[in-house]
Amino acid sequence: MIRSSIFAATVALGVGIGGVANAADLLDEIQERGELVCGTLNYIAGVGFLDDKGEWSGFDVDFCKAAGAAILGDPKKVRFVATTGAQKFPALQSGEIDILSRSVTETISRDTTLGFSFIGPNHMTGQGFMVHKDTGVTDVKQLDGASVCVLAGTTTERYLADWFKANGMSFQPVAAENSDQMYSMYFDKRCDAVTMEPPYLAIRRARAATPDDHVILETLIAKSFEAPVIREGSPKFFKVLQWMHYGMITAEELGITQANVDEIAKSSKNPVVQRFLGVEGTIGSDMGVPNDWMVKVIKAVGNYGEFYNNTLGKNSNLQVPRGMNALWRDGGAMVAPGWQ
């Protein structure tokens, strides 16, 4: 009896220690598994949306499709997991998902203390306000004493408190668990203003019963640079995703699109293009992915311009202007280092 309990103890101990993950690069693990697990959101059309046919779409979803194309050669080899605001970081930390592509705002504290690596940022915006027109508010500074609807557990909640405090103003927070609830409270006039990134405000205003009754204030109270996130400790995985993001920007610079990528790969004599599309050199295989990985990415979601316009921009229902997300040479902030 005693001997058997010692045996059981050893087993329990072994199981306990075996549970600790060993540190292989996630890139190899994903390729072995043949599937990329992507945490995203399922209820904002244009950003992350699961439709009634079971199809995922949107900006954050397409990033994962591109990653699937880069790493596994097929944008369909991605399994999407809907994550909630409060559970998104634990899901990533626990290894339930490989990438969190869910409009996460990159901040120094998140980057340096959570054990995460941010890619990009791939969507640059800021935090703004939408107010009821009948309040007569035209500037953020007039919001002293207002009730503000805010999404619980997001950076917007923190920036809101920080900004009002810094400006010696007061406000009454009205927290919502999800964005549907937040906007419905705003439209019911539970609050005078709602705070969120302007593109998302615009999406909701467009859907309002009377869009003209709402004003999106011009001033942004904080930068909000959104970026996909992975766990720290997989340098190969990180490099592939980071350069995939740069690659999509580079493709737009080079005029390579979803439609002409095959043609250009076959016919281009430009050494930069040849290197970029993997016709020449071993950039891809040195990173641990096929040499033609950027061809796959561009065929899956297009260059950065197409990627943005098809989901949020002018080819979508949302019509969000590119603003800061235009290429650097067009006056935006999207840049990529050289592909040498």
Smallest gap from residue 143 Cβ to other proteins (A): 8
- Residues in contact with other proteins by the rule CB under 8 A: 1-2, 4-5, 8-9, 12-13, 15-17, 19-21, 23, 85-86, 89-90, 93-94, 110, 113-115, 135, 143-147, 152-154, 157-158, 160-162, 164-165, 171-177, 181, 184-185, 188-192, 231-233
Which CB sits closer to other proteins, 231 or 296? 231
Smallest gap from residue 12 Cβ to other proteins (A): 4
Closest of 116, 68, 128, 118 to residue 89, by C-alpha: 116
Smallest gap from residue 192 Cβ to other proteins (A): 5
Closest of 42, 33, 234 to residue 119, by C-alpha: 234
3-state secondary structure of 195: strand
Smallest gap from residue 138 Cβ to other proteins (A): 14
The tokens for 154 are 């997001």
Closest of 124, 63, 74 to residue 98, by C-alpha: 63
Which CB sits closer to other proteins, 93 or 257? 93
Q: How far apart are CA 251 and CA 17, in angstroms?
A: 46
Which CB sits closer to other proteins, 142 or 257? 142
Which CB sits closer to other proteins, 147 or 268? 147
Smallest gap from residue 8 Cβ to other proteins (A): 6
- What letter represents residue 43's amino acid? Y
Q: Over the range 108-131, which residues count as b (16 or more CB within 10 Å of their CB) and which as e?
A: eebeeeeebbbbbbbbbbbbbbbb
Which CB sits closer to other proteins, 16 or 54? 16
